Structure 1
Amino acid sequence: MSRGGDGGMRLLPWTGPDGQRCYVSADDDGGYVSRLADRMEAVQLETGTEILGYATTLLADRECRATSDELRFCAQRLIEALRDALRVAESRGGRIGVG
């Protein structure tokens, strides 16, 4: 299956009910779903930036007062943020012919 940039498909920043990848026609650049995807990608990247700031603060504590539950929660959110950022990068790379 071809990807964006050549009339192909754009990878969306969310998955289907069973975790499958979702796509929209790359010809739909100005369409509702594409605009929604653009907004979702922006929110995902902003959230990742916020989580990174939280993690940086949490780990900067030299006395390590964070509990194991706090560190586990932070690691889980960082994993989610990285997964989202990689998906955004893949989607955008596909639209400019990289990948």
Structure 2
Amino acid sequence: MDKHEDMRLLPWVSDMGKPCYLVGDPEGVVATFADRVEERQLAAAHQALSEAHSVLGEPAAGALALRLALARVLPALAHALRIAESRG
């Protein structure tokens, strides 16, 4: 077995910006906390996506509204991709 198969990528980074991994109990306190963080991140992504759809559906939306919507969607997408990578 590859030694990395039992490591879980966590939904946060270290103080130095490096990825954090969980090695050990997949049902433990840290794993449960990570699950809750991921749930909040995915809920925020759904909200950002909904808001972006609203902005794109408004023909009068200006450049600022589009930029603000994109600014919300980009980190949400990054979180969703990190969760997908973590879950394999």
- Report the TM-score, using the length of structure 2 for normalisation: 0.89
3-state SS of 1:28 partner: coil
Unaligned runs of 5+ in 2: none
Aligned alpha-carbon RMSD (Å): 1.3
Q: Structure 1 residue aligned with 2:10, among 12, 15, 30?
A: 12
Unaligned runs of 5+ in 1: 94-99
User: Structure 1 vs Structure 2: percent identity of aligned residues?
Assistant: 40
Higher relative contact order, chain-length normalized (CA < 8 Å, sep 6+): 1
Residues paired across the two proteins, number: 86
Counterpart residue type for residue 41 of structure 2 = Q
Instruction: Find runs of 4+ consecutive structure 1 residues off by over 6 angstroms.
Output: none
Q: Structure 1 residue aligned with 2:30, among 16, 20, 33?
A: 33
Structure 2 equivalent of residue 69 of structure 1 = 64
- Report the TM-score, using the length of structure 1 for normalisation: 0.79
